[in-house]
Each structure stands twice: as C-alpha cells, then as structure tokens.
Structure 1
Amino acid sequence: MTDGNIATKKEVGLSKEEQEVLDEIERENVDFVRLQFTDITGTVKNVSIPAHQVEKAFDEGIWFDGSSIEGFARIQESDMRLDPDPSTFTVLPWRSDGDTASARLICDVVNTDGTPFDGGPRQVLKRVLSKAREMGYTVSIGPEPEFFLFEKDEEGKATTVPHDSGGYFDLAPKDMASDVRREVIFTLEQMGFEIEASHHEVADGQHEINFKYDDALSAADNIATFRAVVRAVAEQNGIHATFMPKPIAEINGSGMHAHISLFDEDGNTFADDEDEFNLSETAYKFMGGVLEHAPAFTAITNPTINSYKRLIPGYEAPVYIAWSDVNRSALIRVPDAAGTSSRFEIRSPDPSCNPYLALAVIIEAGLDGIENDIDPGTPVRDDIYEFDEEKREEHGITLLPGRLMDALDALEADEVVCEALGDHVTEKFIEAKQSEYDEYKTYVSGWEKAKYLEKF
C-alpha cells in the first residue's frame, strides 16, 4: 500500500480488501485494533486505536512520533504515519472481556508526504522483493524459529531453569511443555497460520514449531507474529519464553533456519530433476551469492553479542561458509527434495534478528549471485568440524564472523548488503550495535569474577 501516496487515498476511497476488514471488525465485535510495526532491531511496537478509527487509518494513516523509535528519526523530523496493510488483519484469539475482541494490523511506516520511509524494516524487504519481481522472481521462505521455555522465580522474573527436561522429539511426561506448545499452535491457527509440525528440541526446555512456507513478506510478518504469540501464551501459563540465541552455556542454542526457493511463471526455478541435488543453475548461483555475502549479512541475521556464543563448533550451529547435502556444520544444507519442493536451507540466522531485514539481506545476496554468476563451489560432505586449517583452506572454506564487531566490519565493507538495507538503516543499525557493544565492554561478568577475583 505504501507504494502510493496516502494523500490521494480519499479521492479513490477504500479498497475492497479494506472494506472487508471493516466488515469483519463489525462482525467480530472488535473494539480496539493494534497497529503493529517493528523498529530496526526487530522489536515489535504497536499503537492501539479504537475500532471506529480504522477507516481513518486506511484513509489517512495514523500519526506517531518516530523519534521515540530505535533508529527511525531525529527529534526535528519526528512526525511519521502508519499505513496499515489490510491483508494482515487478524482478530486476536484472546479477548479483553466476554463480548469484545481486539485485532491486529501490520503497518508500513511512511513519511508525512505519504512516501515510504526508507528506514522502515518492512519497506527494506519490500524494496528487495520489488527487485526480485523485476528479475522475474517471487521468493518463498519457510522459517524454523526455535525458542526456550523457562520457569519464573517467586517474584515473577524469568530464570534460566528449563520448564522441562525433555530431549529431541521427546513426548510427555518428559516434555511437560507439550500442552503449552499445543496452546500456541491452536492460537496461531486461529490467526491463520498453517502449522506443519512441532516438537521438543535437543536442549532441556527448547522447542520448535514449524509453519508453512509463504511469500517472503508474509513469512517475515509471520515470524514477528509468532514470537509475540509464543511469549503471550507462555505468560498466560506462568512461564517465560525467550528467543535469545544462547541463554545457557554448553548446550545447543536457538536458531531460525530458513528454507528458500524462487518461483517464476513456470514454477520453482530452483528445481532441476536432472541434477544430483535436484537444483538448477539459478539455485546454484543464488547459493553462490549467499555464501559470498554471508560474512556481511551475519551482522543482520545474528545481531546480538549473544548470537556469537551460538555460532561455535559442537552444538549443531553452522560456523563454516560452505554447502552440503548431509553436513549440518555447513552454512547451507540441501535437503532431499525435488520439483516444487526443491530448495536449500540457510542455517545461520537466529530468532533474535529483525525478520524483515534478515530476509532482505539474504535475498539480496542471492540475487547478486544470479546477476554475477557466482559459483558456490562443490559440496562438502565430510564433517568440517574435524578439518584442520590446512584442510579447510584446501576446500576453500572460510568461517563466519566470530564476534558481533567482526560482522559489523564485514557489513560496512559489503556494498551489496549495505545497498539492500539502504543508507539510513545501515547507519542506524551499526550505530545501535556499536552502542550495544560499548555497553557490553564495560560490564564485568560472573565468569570474570569466578575466574580472576581470587586468582589475582
């Protein structure tokens, strides 16, 4: 919707989709609607308006103060508007009382003149998807966000005590959170999600719920919604849900693997049944671009200091910039799939990322691979964790950044990824993460005290 100018909307009236939203609001007795958007770091924000103001929101947008949002605007240019996307309307399953309901609309952020705000994360992804369309492609994404469920203490604060002691694919009674997962699934289904599978993950208290692949913009919207629903349901059950990548040392962290494929008017452009891995030349070039730009986009897909405590050998997280059909130590894994299902899985992202920015930089990297015929090299089928440095060099395997600051340096040096983000987001993101790192440097951890306090 934000491709046009809000000022012209009154002249054309409401669209059919917008009118359908108003009809559903009346039918479902909705009293308040949350206008949802994200800041640059991926934190979900919302402005709540009475249901009778939704028509105005569609017609004119809703004003808000952009200077109060991380990475948006300076105080002297703070006025911005929210432009609701009617396709994202959903009634929230929880009701404020017995009769009335609340609903949600995801919004784009626009400037006062109605033009898209370059610093809006959803707009960043839209720009990249527009480029893909110009090249003849639509992008399909199937995300797999993992999370932990922890107990709360007597004061209601989150602990790192796992809610259960289950393991990979365990069942109740060991997996005591199965009822919570079931409640999350029912809630998501009421909101229009198509759930494919759910299971307990490797670590105590760790879980995964997989929802069906979708177009990239819807997938990013779904990730943001998923995180909010998981947290809300956990709170209702007196426990805490976290998407922190590595909340506990020496156990597996939480990833957000992303399955990706491109489609054109003839179908899945990644598919080639004559190929050993059922992948086309387009798929290989896209993969080459992802591998080429991985150091730079890691700052976006793994955006916290804690993210890099997950990206270490030995815990099923990728460390090496390589691809394989069997090797989970590689950045990219090609599953055994053909035809419409041909795809590959990018294993490095974690669920703390801003989904709009993360998908944007991955897609831009792949499109650059197609444009410049980037070769991904040959698959590595041996366990790369067992390779020494000499053998890695022999296979042309490099490592993902080991620290947030290394990733930020790689980001600044990569014109393709910076162009995908745009000048505003690149500058504000690096600024925010540099500030985060500066704060971290001044903190004395428990590990340091235990290691050095009595020794020196």
Structure 2
Amino acid sequence: MSKQRDFVLRTIEERGVKFVRLWFTDVAGALKSVALAPAEVEGAFSEGIGFDGSAIEGLTRAYESDLLAVPDPSTFQILPWRGESEPTGRMFCDIRTPNGEPAVSDPRNVLKRTLAQAADMGFSFYTHPEIEFYLLKSKELGPEGPIPVDRAGYFDNVPGGTAHDFRRESVNMLEELGISVEFSHHEAGPGQNEIDLRYADALATADNIMTFRSVVKEVAIAQGVHATFMPKPLAGHPGSGMHTHVSLFEGEENAFYDPSAKYHMSVTARRFVAGVLRHAPELTAVTNQYVNSYKRLWGGDEAPSFVSWGHNNRSALVRVPMYKPGKGGAARVEYRGMDSAVNPYLGFSVLLAAGLKGIQEEYELPPEAENNVWALSDGERRAMGFDPLPQSLEHALAVMERSELVAETLGEQVFAYLIRDSRREVDEYRSQVTPFELNSMLDTI
C-alpha cells in the first residue's frame, strides 16, 4: 500500500473520522459526493466505488453506465465545517471504467490528459485564480432583484460588516484544508468579494476551486446569507470573473521569463499568448458556459470583450503583469475572460491546449493594445485587429463547434455533451418572456 493511502487510513483512525466523502465533478461543473463508512475506504482505494454514470450529467451513455469512483489519497482533508462531533474527510476521485481505464468523460481526466501533453513537451502548468462572487441577504428576490449584503465598493473596509467577517472565516477554513490564500478583499460591486488562491499546479488548483466553492457556500449558510458564483447577478454592477494567472515551467525554471526580452516575456511566453488569443473565441463556450456569462462579458464594468493583449492593461483579454525585480520565477500572464462559474478542469484544459498550440506552431504574437480597448471605436478596434469575443452563448457554440482544438482537447463525448446541453439552455432562454419586454412593451404596443 502506498504511503499516501497508509496516511489516510491512519488519520481516519486517529481522528475518529465517521464519514469520508468521495468527490468528483460532472461535465457541467457540479460537485458530486458519496459518503463512505471508514471501513470501506481501503476497499475503495483498491477497487473503487461503483455507480450509475448515466445518472450523472454527461459522464456516460445509458448502455455503458457502470463507472467507478477511485479516490485520490493525495487529496484527503478533514472538512472543518463538519466539526469535531462527527469528523468528516473528503477525497477527490478519478472516474474509471469497469476495466480500470480512465473515463474519457471525466473532467479531471480531461485536464490530466492535457497536462500530460504539456509534460511531453517538457512543461508543467501552474495557475493562480482570482475568484469573485456575490454575497446576498438571501436567495429571495427584492423588487429590483437580488439584495446584496452591503453597498460597499472596491477595497472598502466595512468594520463589523458581513463581508469582512465572511472573508475571515472563509480564509481560515481554506487554510485548514491546506489551500493557501494570497489575498481577500471587497470587490467593486455591492456585496461582491474576491479571494485569490496562491499559485499551484493546475490539477491541484482545479480541485482547490471546487473545494473553495463548497467552503464559500457552507460559510454563507452558517452566517445566514447566500453566496453565488453566477457571472452577472446584478444588472448595472460588475460581473464575477475568475482572472487566472498562468505560467509554464521547465523543471525549476520559469519558461515564460527572459531577462533580456521586452516585458521579460520569453519566446515561449509570446507564442503561448499568441495561441490563447488566436483560439480564444473557440474556448469561450467552455470558459463562459452559461447564457448569463455573456451579460458579464458584454455588460461593461471592465470585463474583457475583445481579443487583445497588453502590458499591465486591464482592458485586454490577456494581461502581462508588471515584472517584479528579482522575481523571474513569478513571470506569468493573466487570462481575464474566464468567469467564476467555469468548470475549472475543462477551462484550464482548453486554455493550456491553446497556449501549447501556439508554441508548437510558433504563432507570432500580434501587436499589443497600448490604449484602453473599451474606449476605442468599433472602427479603431477593427483596424487594430481586436476582434470581439462571441456575444452570446449561441454564438460561442457556433464558433466552438468548428474547433478542432477544443474537440480534441475535450474528447468526443465531453465535446458533444457540452454542445447539446448548452443548446438546450439557449433554447430555454430564448423562449422566456423577460421583465424587460413586459415593462417596455406591454402598455405601449
């Protein structure tokens, strides 16, 4: 038995753990869970836990429904919100077929496959997400929609305020789970907050994001408020993005860093960014997977709407942060398009695949955006080659459907499911009669 498995079994016994939750994520990005008695954990390590995959969104088809959830012992943690009366652990799982093969539709496996491609090229992939979300007084809607817990703004200090206490409790809980936090603060929208996770390899980050969402939801319930990662819950206020800083390493060396290059961007970094920019419209249905996502992208408030890059330019889709002297290992680029509702396993997969494509095909980086991209006219943006991102989920699906890169990265089954499920959402959304239409037309037409 491996040392990690041994550690898990020993910890379960020593801490008196009553239940162990096995977690995995469906294709849509929802967290799934099954609870085991401690006596069953050793068997789960060797044989997995069988379940009906056809009952889980996108995992498998009805005629091949048997799947196994195999826990990854390296992800074991005690869940702090369960308390000491009934200590509960959790582990993320890899989904396998009955013959032991990785399930092609497992989002965690999709990311593992893409990371293996990077490893074949000599790279490891690191990510650092800035996760935004809203705190609301409840799920109930007021006359004007959701009711935020405060009216504070960017970096505001609200002594004794709900958000201040909420962030402190959330950060403490994340740290108990071994998830390092870099920053936390109030964001620009009323009731909007941001917590930034410290950089880690992409698989660990994706697991951490799924845990992060659970922590935020649990703390919200405990404090009598409601937390939402909906991309744009409040009209007229900023949406919730997940700006993600990324870097490639070759061994211990940051492959994005060149001390002699402009902005210290290596050739590898420039080609990676070129790949992300060229394929960004194809990725958008993955990184922004809901109809509401496009209210954020095209609703103003600093969301990136056009394919562009710039040095320290927050209006660009890809930003190259200012270099910190003496910290070549921290060289990175920031992708600002992703929203907080993304399935992180799939979002990181397509982002990495696009960057690797740029490196493999030696894409040339286009001219940078030196001005505020939002302030330019449509004609100016066209002249500069700053093409728009898709303006709706329907448009994004039409672009993604033609993408060989996304199809190859996700695999046939995940790719087909995302298109089918997203089209269903588009159809349901299209059939709605909205308050806007009723308010503006019912009395006048």
SS at match of 1:217: helix
- Distance change >3 Å, CA 52–CA 434, structure 1 → 2: same
1:36 partnered with 2:59: no
In 2: Cα distance, 1:153 partner to 1:65 partner: 32
Are the equivalent residues in 1 in contact too, given 2:81–2:218 (CA < 8 A)?
A: no
1:154 Cα shift? 7.8
Corresponding residue of 1:152 = 138
SS at match of 2:308: strand
Q: After superposition, what is the alpha-carbon deviation per residue over 1:264-288, rounded to whole angstroms, capped at 9, x for unaligned?
A: 1251000011122111000000000
SS at match of 2:90: strand
The partner residue of 1:344 within 329, 333, 355 is 333
The partner residue of 1:199 within 177, 185, 190 is 185
1:446 partnered with 2:435: yes
1:153 Cα shift? 6.6
Q: After superposition, what is the alpha-carbon deviation per residue over 1:219-266, rounded to whole angstroms, capped at 9, x for unaligned?
A: 110111101110110011110000000001111000000000000125
Q: 2:386 is matched by which residue type in structure 1?
A: I
Q: Which runs of 4+ in 1 moved over 4 A?
A: 153-156
The partner residue of 1:102 within 74, 78, 88 is 88
Are the equivalent residues in 1 in contact too, given 2:231–2:292 (CA < 8 A)?
A: yes
1:389 Cα shift? 2.4
The partner residue of 1:367 within 351, 356, 362 is 356
1:75 Cα shift? 2.1
The partner residue of 2:57 within 70, 73, 78 is 70
Corresponding residue of 2:395 = 406
The partner residue of 2:45 within 58, 61, 82 is 58
In 1: Cα distance, 2:11 partner to 2:59 partner: 32
In 1: Cα distance, 2:27 partner to 2:170 partner: 26
In 2: Cα distance, 1:352 partner to 1:414 partner: 22
1:122 partnered with 2:108: yes
Corresponding residue of 1:331 = 317
1:217 Cα shift? 0.3
Q: 2:414 is matched by which residue type in structure 1?
A: V
The RMSD of aligned alpha carbons is: 1.5
Q: After superposition, what is the alpha-carbon deviation per residue over 1:35-80, rounded to whole angstroms, capped at 9, x for unaligned?
A: 0001111000111111111101101000011111111122222110
SS at match of 1:229: helix
Q: After superposition, what is the alpha-carbon deviation per residue over 1:323-343, rounded to whole angstroms, capped at 9, x for unaligned?
A: 001321210011012500110
Corresponding residue of 1:8 = none
SS at match of 1:160: coil
Are the equivalent residues in 2 in contact too, given 1:35–1:107 (CA < 8 A)?
A: yes
1:321 partnered with 2:310: no
1:388 Cα shift? 1.8
Corresponding residue of 1:277 = 263
1:208 partnered with 2:197: no
Corresponding residue of 2:157 = 171
Q: After superposition, what is the alpha-carbon deviation per residue over 1:299-324, rounded to whole angstroms, capped at 9, x for unaligned?
A: 00000000000012631100110100
Identity of aligned residues (%): 45
Corresponding residue of 2:282 = 296
1:173 Cα shift? 2.9
In 1: Cα distance, 2:374 partner to 2:183 partner: 29
SS at match of 2:369: coil
Are the equivalent residues in 1 in contact too, given 2:127–2:205 (CA < 8 A)?
A: yes
Are the equivalent residues in 1 in contact too, given 2:313–2:320 (CA < 8 A)?
A: no
In 2: Cα distance, 1:376 partner to 1:28 partner: 54
SS at match of 2:91: strand
Corresponding residue of 1:418 = 407
Are the equivalent residues in 2 in contact too, given 1:286–1:367 (CA < 8 A)?
A: yes
In 2: Cα distance, 1:230 partner to 1:380 partner: 36
Corresponding residue of 1:48 = 35
Corresponding residue of 1:11 = none
- Distance change >3 Å, CA 136–CA 153, structure 1 → 2: closer
Are the equivalent residues in 2 in contact too, given 1:165–1:175 (CA < 8 A)?
A: no
How many pairs align? 440
Residues 374-413 of structure 1 mapped to structure 2, 5 A cutoff:
374-413=363-402
Corresponding residue of 1:22 = 9
Q: 2:383 is matched by which residue type in structure 1?
A: E
The partner residue of 1:242 within 228, 231, 235 is 228
- Distance change >3 Å, CA 362–CA 155, structure 1 → 2: closer
SS at match of 1:399: coil
> Structure 1: any 5+ residue segments left out of the alignment?
1-13
SS at match of 2:81: coil
SS at match of 1:33: strand
Q: 2:128 is matched by which residue type in structure 1?
A: G
TM-score w.r.t. length of structure 1? 0.94
Q: 1:340 is matched by which residue type in structure 2?
A: G
> Structure 2: any 5+ residue segments left out of the alignment?
none
Q: 1:44 is matched by which residue type in structure 2?
A: L
In 1: Cα distance, 2:282 partner to 2:141 partner: 41
Q: 1:62 is matched by which residue type in structure 2?
A: I
SS at match of 2:115: helix
In 2: Cα distance, 1:208 partner to 1:153 partner: 20
In 2: Cα distance, 1:29 partner to 1:166 partner: 43
1:267 partnered with 2:253: yes
Q: After superposition, what is the alpha-carbon deviation per residue over 1:116-162, rounded to whole angstroms, capped at 9, x for unaligned?
A: 00000000000000000000000010011100000127899xx7111
In 1: Cα distance, 2:339 partner to 2:409 partner: 20
1:287 partnered with 2:276: no
1:175 Cα shift? 4.5
Q: 1:108 is matched by which residue type in structure 2?
A: D
Q: After superposition, what is the alpha-carbon deviation per residue over 1:400-422, rounded to whole angstroms, capped at 9, x for unaligned?
A: 10000111111111101210001
